[in-house]
Amino acid sequence: MKRNAVYPGTFDPITSGHHDLVRRAASIFDRIVIAVAANPNKAPMFPLEERVRMAQQVLADLPNVEVRGYSGLTYQFARSLGFEVVIRGLRAVSDFEFEFQLANMSRHLAPEIETVFLTPQEQFTFVSSTLVREIATLGGDVREFVHPVVAEELRKRAPQFAPGAARPQAPK
């Protein structure tokens, strides 16, 4: 029996923590679809197509990993692929309550789909897309938290903070 899984998220942008989770999941599952959510309830920095493209570039060396954009409910997307496992990442205890609630709701709506939780390596537990975006927007160096492709895309989004550009001055 094939073991296939969906790993959903906004991936705005994909971080080294996501990358770590996907690499380890790729050794457990036969096939993984990274499901990049359109999520109309969020205002992402990158459009869906760019988030998909970045994830494809970052994960290109993993032959059993595919990246797709989607909208709607994750369990419906998993069903459409014929997959019965959804992977969710847990960075810290603070993630658990929301993820537990989400998993139970999904189980109620789609009892045939199981949720599996994975945790990142310790050095990635504090890395989130939200923090990476904020650091990049404020001119910080995000290269240790994201793949070089992503770091370059973030740099393009905040050209006023490119190397050599004038930094904002503190109020006098």
Q: Which residues are catalytic?
A: 18, 42, 91, 129
**Residue pointed to by tokens 């797709």:** 68
Question: Which amino acid is residue 126, in one-letter code?
Answer: F
Report the distance separating Cα 18 and Cα 32, nearest Å.
Answer: 13
Radius of gyration of the chain (CA): 17
| Cα–Cα distance, 27 to 104 (Å, whole number) | 26
CB–CB of 158/150 below 8 Å? no
Q: Are 70 and 90 in contact (CB under 8 A)?
A: no
Cα separation, 132 vs 137, in Å, equals 8
- CA 166 distance to own-chain centroid: 31
